[in-house]
Amino acid sequence: MTPKLLLAVSILALPLAAQAGSLHLYTENTPPDIMRDGERITGISTDKVKEIMARAGVSYTMEITAWKRAYELALRMPDACVFSTSRTPEREALFKWVGPLREFDWTLYGLANAPFQLTALDDAKKLRIGGYSGDVRVQYLLDRGFKVDAAPDNFSNPRKLMGGRIDLWVTSHQLANGLLEQEGLAGKIVPLLTFHSSRAYLACNKAVPDATIAAMSAAMADIVKDGTSAAIDRKYANWRPR
């Protein structure tokens, strides 16, 4: 075998990770979907992403940071991805997509003794809504003329609601329940109106090789087919903050 042919065969024999290089995965702290457990990052979407990467043979680093920074890094860095990212028509052409990892509702939360009722989204037009910067729900409301106070992260919104600084908080059941338990506010802040839903994905920079995306997508299909994805969902079904 000639040296050139030997080199070509050797490259083809390399694992995908060695050919494509390591990916940098960015995410946010949203228990029980993504959270820290000591030095480890765990959670529903986290565990699914880790399983996908292992099966696809793609090496990676993972970092929790502010959502807006995570999203912007994935847009800017050629070897970066962000999760869990709602796949919307506005975002479709910005990324290459792997998933879906989960489905999230879009829900307005308010005080249990709120002096108003919501039967449709337009009922919230004159109310102050809290959210966090870069969140797809916040952008959806801003685009439709709602008044939204976007905080740097989601964690201050329950306290702002309790303190009367906002009237509503736009989030999802999946993200709100853990945070409200953690803050001791379950039952004091409640869902008032669910107005939409979206599927959340691992969103990768457009420069990530198609072969890498295909390998991760195949791994995603495998964990759904063999029950691993459902098993991860069940693992966290009764999660409560420590």
* Out of 18-27, 96-105, 197-206, least confident range: 18-27
Assess contact for 34 and 85: CB atoms under 8 A: no
pLDDT tens digits, residue range 127-177?
A: 999 999 989 999 999 999 999 999 988 889 999 999 999 999 999 998 898
As a whole number, mean pLDDT of residues 54-59 equals 98
What is the domain-level CATH number for residue 126?
3.40.190.10
| pLDDT of amino acid 56 | 99
Specify the higher pLDDT residue, 166 or 14: 166
- Helix extents (H) in the chain: 3-13, 16-20, 44-56, 67-76, 136-143, 157-162, 173-183, 210-225, 228-235
Could you list the residue range(s) of the whole structural domain that residue 178 is in?
105-198
Same domain, 45 and 91: yes
3 is a domain residue: no
Same domain, 41 and 63: yes
84 cis-preceded (ω within 30 degrees of 0): yes
Reported for 218-224, long-range contacts at CB under 8 A and 24+ positions apart, including other chains, are: 218/56, 219/51, 219/52, 219/53, 219/54, 219/55, 219/56, 220/48, 220/52, 220/98, 220/99, 220/101, 222/55, 223/48, 223/51, 223/52, 223/55
**Residues 6 or more apart from 68 whose CB is under 8 A from it?**
133, 134, 152
pLDDT surpassing 80 at residue 4: no
pLDDT surpassing 60 at residue 20: no
DSSP bridge partners of 148: 129
- Strand 148-151 and strand 129-132: the pairing is parallel
pLDDT surpassing 80 at residue 14: no
Same domain, 48 and 122: no
Give the Cα-Cα-Cα angle 197, 201, 205 (nearest 5 degrees): 130
Question: pLDDT band at residue 5, thresholds of 50, 70 and 90?
Answer: very low
**Residues 6 or more apart from 73 whose CB is under 8 A from it?**
24, 26, 65, 80, 82
8 is a domain residue: no
What amino acid is encoded at 55 in this protein? R
Number of domains making up the chain: 2
25 is a domain residue: yes
DSSP 19-82: HH--EEEEE--BTTTBEEETTEEESHHHHHHHHHHHHHT--EEEEE--HHHHHHHHHH-TTEEE
Question: pLDDT band at residue 6, thresholds of 50, 70 and 90?
Answer: very low
Q: Phi/psi at 66 (nearest 5 deg)?
A: -65, 145
Mean pLDDT estimate for the chain: 91
Same domain, 221 and 170: no
| pLDDT of amino acid 225 | 99
pLDDT tens digits, residue range 80-95?
A: 999 999 999 999 999 9
| pLDDT of amino acid 19 | 47
As a whole number, mean pLDDT of residues 48-74 equals 97
Same domain, 191 and 144: yes
pLDDT tens digits, residue range 174-230?
A: 889 888 988 999 999 999 999 999 999 999 999 999 999 999 999 999 999 999 999
| pLDDT of amino acid 61 | 98
Same domain, 99 and 219: yes
As a whole number, mean pLDDT of residues 234-241 equals 87
